[in-house]
């Protein structure tokens, strides 16, 4: 299994807007073949920070996900309301 964490830092006052724009990404991603989980969490320490936690069957399905229209569209619609680049980490998880 592959786990992805994506730290999203919104510009001040834009957190709710990022959440709204993420809804289509989350719903569409959850329906993809090989998606185990796709959730967005809010920081309890910083109102502008969100964390996307994704779980994928394997690297191939993650690679396919990153080519989807909903994935690309999310990056485009939030570009101007983020404080900086996404902080993305990818982990391989042993299923045993």
Which pLDDT score, from 0 to 100, does residue 94 have? 85
Residue-averaged pLDDT of the chain? 96
3 is written with which tokens? 């786990």
- For 1-96, list the strands marked E by DSSP: 2-9, 35-42, 49-56, 87-92
Handedness of CA 21, 14, 47, 90 (dihedral sign): positive
Q: pLDDT tens across 21-59, in order?
A: 999 999 999 999 999 999 999 999 999 999 999 999 999
Report all structural domains of the chain as residue ranges with CATH numbers, in order of start: 2-92 (3.30.70.100)
> In terms of DSSP H, where are the helices of 31-90?
59-65, 69-78
- pLDDT score, position 96: 62
The overall pTM is greater than 0.85: yes
Average pLDDT over residues 64-83: 96
The confidence score (pLDDT) of residue 43 equals 97
């Amino acid at each position: 299994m592959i786990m992805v964490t994506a730290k999203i830092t919104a510009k001040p006052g834009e957190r709710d807007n990022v959440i709204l724009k993420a809804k289509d990404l989350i719903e569409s991603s959850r329906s993809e073949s090989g998606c185990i989980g796709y959730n967005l969490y809010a920081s309890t320490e910083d109102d502008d920070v969100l964390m996307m936690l994704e779980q994928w069957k394997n690297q191939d399905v993650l690679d396919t996900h990153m080519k989807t229209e909903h994935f690309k569209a999310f990056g485009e619609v939030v570009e101007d309301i983020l404080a900086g680049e996404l902080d993305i980490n990818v982990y391989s998880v042993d299923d045993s």
